[in-house]
Structure 1
């Protein structure tokens, strides 16, 4: 059986390499920094395992704390596994054909130099076939003006749909105030109401696969009765880091009463 120290060193090294690559291409966020730090702890335990064990065994209080922290970590790991399983089930559910809807809301995910990020582009690529197949549905792109930007994210999203899929700009309503998922859906309600569409009607919400559980819960909490989630794929290079980050965002949303 492979020693614990070797397992920790291997896992920690993989985490460090993965997160270093992401941070090197400007993906510095919770989903890359925290796993990087955890990886450092794992590698340190792997290299100095005997010294750590010898040190903590000299103090009963320190030993109990060390084992307690590992217990907390394993409990967290189980909860994270449950979250990932639930997320995968929801992703499978969202792959089913979308029924007729009254509106399609595409949630923002960031822009760079006036262009959608790869994650946002995937959302728009996923939304385009639905928009074309349900021409009677109201289309809303949702996202405010980011730091250093001159145009709202909603405008950049609408322009991308026009340039890439020839979807007329006049058919795309832009919600350009929001800075979060909750605001995306709150401000979109104003547009829906102005067009005579109730949030009790079936409404498609397009977002990334890792984000669909939280987005659906926020929508229902706000009064959307029939939200239909359409998930866009997350690039493999950032998928697991995105899931990790989303786990904490989900917990944070629950703590702050978003659902």
Structure 2
């Protein structure tokens, strides 16, 4: 029985690790090289290595008392990390529930970018725009701002592509959409948007809706509050099922990265 469980565990490590590595490799190939992709990629490679070379690794660690203790200490740290990941997912679910509440009247609506391909929004960004559209139409007096710079291999800013999608798909006039086309991160999305809002007479102390993906709501809210947004109201768009759980996994590391780099 123990032998069968070990085989199952090793196969599980290889499958999970390989899935994480492929997911992160694809993102890094399109220029998304950051803490939230590199660290999970390394973790995935550790999973795969342990799954394939389990017996060789255990033989090596058992030859020395110190190495054996390090082995168990690392597994202890892994389980502590697993608990912290579970707590993050729980907190994320609570934030998503709060984001599903009706949106009160706001002074502005900021839609955060999430990548484009061949001049079109990615599925994740499409979900954000589709989620934002009803709010934009229901609150026409609120300023609408699309936020996102020029990505790798692109010739147009993400903000411009987002504005075009809102116009062509949802019939929202271009004149009602302000564009922030310089940012390359969530922190820049929100800090550069402040400049545009100030020019339009909107204070960041006012209620401001921030539209982003469900997995991104905790980090976006933390960054906004750190930057001085006093009443950020998060509106969460659903993440496509095909990438949902990988996105939640990567977001954990992105959240840690934001904390380490002082974004909140």
Does structure 2 retain, via aligned residues, the 8 Å contact 1:200–1:225? Answer: yes
Query: CA shift at 1:191, angstroms?
Result: 1.1
RMSD after superposition: 2.2
Secondary structure, aligned partner of 1:72: helix
Match of 2:187 among 179, 182, 185: 182
2:170 paired with 1:165 = yes
2:137 paired with 1:132 = yes
Match of 1:114 in 2: 119
Q: How does 1:140-155 map to 2 (within 5 A)?
A: 140-155=145-160
Match of 1:191 in 2: 196
Q: Any gaps of 5 or more consecutive residues in structure 2?
A: none
2:222 paired with 1:217 = yes
Does structure 2 retain, via aligned residues, the 8 Å contact 1:101–1:137? Answer: yes
CA distance 1:87–1:171, change in 2 (3 Å):
same
Query: CA shift at 1:148, angstroms?
Result: 2.4
Cα distance in 1 for residues equivalent to 2:241 and 2:255: 21
Match of 1:202 in 2: 207
CA distance 1:43–1:186, change in 2 (3 Å):
closer
CA distance 1:6–1:103, change in 2 (3 Å):
same
Query: CA shift at 1:32, angstroms?
Result: 6.8
Match of 1:85 among 75, 90, 93: 90
Q: How does 1:56-95 map to 2 (within 5 A)?
A: 56-95=61-100
Cα distance in 1 for residues equivalent to 2:48 and 2:188: 41
CA distance 1:48–1:177, change in 2 (3 Å):
closer
Secondary structure, aligned partner of 2:111: strand
- TM-score, normalised to structure 1's length? 0.91
- TM-score, normalised to structure 2's length? 0.89
Cα distance in 2 for residues equivalent to 1:169 and 1:221: 31
Cα distance in 2 for residues equivalent to 1:2 and 1:164: 57
Match of 2:60 in 1: 55
Secondary structure, aligned partner of 1:141: strand
Cα distance in 2 for residues equivalent to 1:199 and 1:192: 8
Does structure 2 retain, via aligned residues, the 8 Å contact 1:161–1:167? Answer: yes
Query: CA shift at 1:172, angstroms?
Result: 0.2
CA distance 1:44–1:144, change in 2 (3 Å):
closer
Q: How many residues align?
A: 258
